[in-house]
């Protein structure tokens, strides 16, 4: 079975500047988060997948279709919600979304029907005959989503979909993204600077920095793996408690009066912790599983990349390559 997106040595250059550098990965999750600081290459990657930029090396495939040779086939199965305003101000919403549906290949009658459906779905049913130029920023975001989904794409690319939305509208957008993910009818790529949006909706994440992929995470697997990290608060005499826990093969570190941080190995169940506490007449006041948040993962990726670059620079200097 083909992955949803495959990057194979993908490199993009503008003039003499390398924007994307030898990206390699296979992504098959229902929702894929694209993260990175400003200038990391996120928008360039999206535009390259859509066929707007030509790679200087390597390629990418969407559902097995090569972006270099099968751009038309890709555009038929992809919906795109851009970050920037891409609406026609003097058209009403239903006419605009219908036009975009026809451009995507739907017959005129079906395009009109789907335009109405899409606008009602995003909450613009009552405003669908209003000129797009009169829409608020939040309404424009919803209109951009409507045109992206009107033709029923297999892959939906969302670039900053919650931009400009008030808290209630943001929650609705996140709910719609989750609904589309769970429907099983389409895959979603979500590019956002809001880590919370990605963490709430995505199963896979790639992090870019300076055109390179510095981290890949399968969030579902990491969430399961991190369930072995436990924080415990005890009441009573906990002498010998840590030693007994460590005897199980766990790592145990004090975190203040009566508090412990533990990492349990595979095969050791939580009931063993309760047994040790009961043997010592020790009360467990609080027990929490802890997992790395997406913010933790993101910051670690940024720091790890910085350290790697410092080591590489040091090696070059040591070998004499950094001398003038």
Q: Burial of 57 by CB count in 10 Å (0-12 exposed, 13-18 middle, 19+ buried)?
A: middle
Q: Would you identify the CATH topology of the domain 223-289?
A: Alpha-Beta Plaits (3.30.70)
Contact 149, 180 (CB under 8 A): yes
User: Per residue in 46-57, pLDDT tens?
Assistant: 999 999 999 999
Tell me how far apart the alpha carbons of residues 248 and 199 are, in angstroms, rounded to a whole number: 33
Tell me how far apart the alpha carbons of residues 49 and 66 are, in angstroms, rounded to a whole number: 9
Tell me how far apart the alpha carbons of residues 280 and 91 are, in angstroms, rounded to a whole number: 74
Reduced to 3 states (helix: H, G, I; strand: E, B; else coil), residue 48 is helix
Tell me how far apart the alpha carbons of residues 198 and 31 are, in angstroms, rounded to a whole number: 9
Give me 86's structure tokens.
């891409």
Global pTM? 0.76
CA–CA–CA angle 39, 214, 220 (5° rounding): 115
Q: Which residues belong to CATH 3.30.70 in the chain?
A: 223-289
Tell me how far apart the alpha carbons of residues 89 and 97 are, in angstroms, rounded to a whole number: 13
Nearest to 127 by CA among 166, 157, 96, 100: 96
Tell me how far apart the alpha carbons of residues 178 and 30 are, in angstroms, rounded to a whole number: 10
Tell me how far apart the alpha carbons of residues 195 and 202 are, in angstroms, rounded to a whole number: 10
Q: What is the per-residue pLDDT for 323?
A: 43
Q: CA–CA distance from 46 to each of 78, 222, 287 (Å)? A: 11, 26, 43
The superfamily CATH assigns to domain 5-210 is P-loop containing nucleotide triphosphate hydrolases (3.40.50.300)
User: Per residue in 13-32, pLDDT tens?
Assistant: 999 999 999 999 999 989 99
Q: What is the full per-residue pLDDT of the chain (324 aa) written as tens digits?
A: 578 999 999 999 999 999 999 999 999 989 999 999 888 999 999 999 999 999 999 999 999 999 999 988 998 899 999 998 889 999 999 999 999 999 998 999 999 999 999 999 999 999 999 999 999 999 999 999 999 999 999 999 999 999 889 999 999 999 999 999 998 889 999 998 888 899 889 999 999 999 999 989 888 777 666 556 788 888 888 788 888 988 988 888 888 888 888 887 777 777 888 888 888 888 888 887 666 667 767 777 777 655 555 555 555 555 555 543
Q: Which residues belong to CATH 3.40.50.300 in the chain?
A: 5-210
């Amino acid at each position: 079975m083909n992955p949803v997106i495959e990057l194979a040595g993908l490199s993009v250059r503008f003039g003499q500047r390398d924007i994307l550098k030898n990206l390699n990965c296979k992504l098959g999750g229902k929702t894929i988060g694209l993260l990175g600081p400003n200038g990391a290459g996120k928008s360039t990657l999206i535009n390259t997948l859509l066929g707007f930029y030509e790679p200087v090396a390597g390629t990418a495939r969407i559902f097995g279709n090569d972006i270099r040779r099968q751009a038309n086939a890709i555009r038929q199965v992809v919906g795109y919600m851009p970050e920037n305003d891409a609406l026609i101000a003097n058209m009403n919403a239903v006419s605009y979304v219908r036009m975009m549906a026809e451009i995507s290949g739907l017959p005129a009658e079906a395009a009109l029907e789907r335009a109405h459906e899409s606008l009602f779905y995003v909450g613009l049913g009552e405003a669908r005959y209003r000129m797009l130029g009169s829409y608020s920023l939040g309404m424009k975001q919803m209109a951009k989503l409507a045109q992206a989904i009107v033709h029923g794409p297999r892959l939906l690319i969302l670039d900053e979909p919650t931009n400009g939305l008030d808290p209630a509208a943001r929650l609705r957008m996140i709910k719609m993204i989750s609904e589309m993910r769970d429907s099983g009818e389409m895959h979603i790529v979500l590019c956002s600077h809001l880590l919370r949006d990605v963490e709430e909706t995505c199963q896979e994440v790639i992090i870019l920095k300076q055109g390179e992929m510095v981290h890949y995470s399968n969030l579902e697997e990491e969430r399961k793996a991190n369930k072995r990290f436990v924080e415990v608060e005890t009441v009573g005499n906990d002498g010998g408690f840590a030693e007994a826990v460590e005897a199980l093969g766990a790592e145990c570190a004090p975190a203040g009066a009566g508090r412990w941080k533990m990492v349990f190995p595979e095969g050791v169940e939580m009931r063993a912790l309760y047994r040790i506490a009961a043997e010592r007449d020790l009360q467990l006041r609080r027990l929490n599983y802890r997992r790395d948040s997406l913010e933790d993962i993101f910051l670690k990726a940024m720091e790890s990349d910085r350290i790697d670059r410092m080591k590489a620079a040091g090696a070059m200097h040591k070998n004499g390559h950094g001398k003038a």
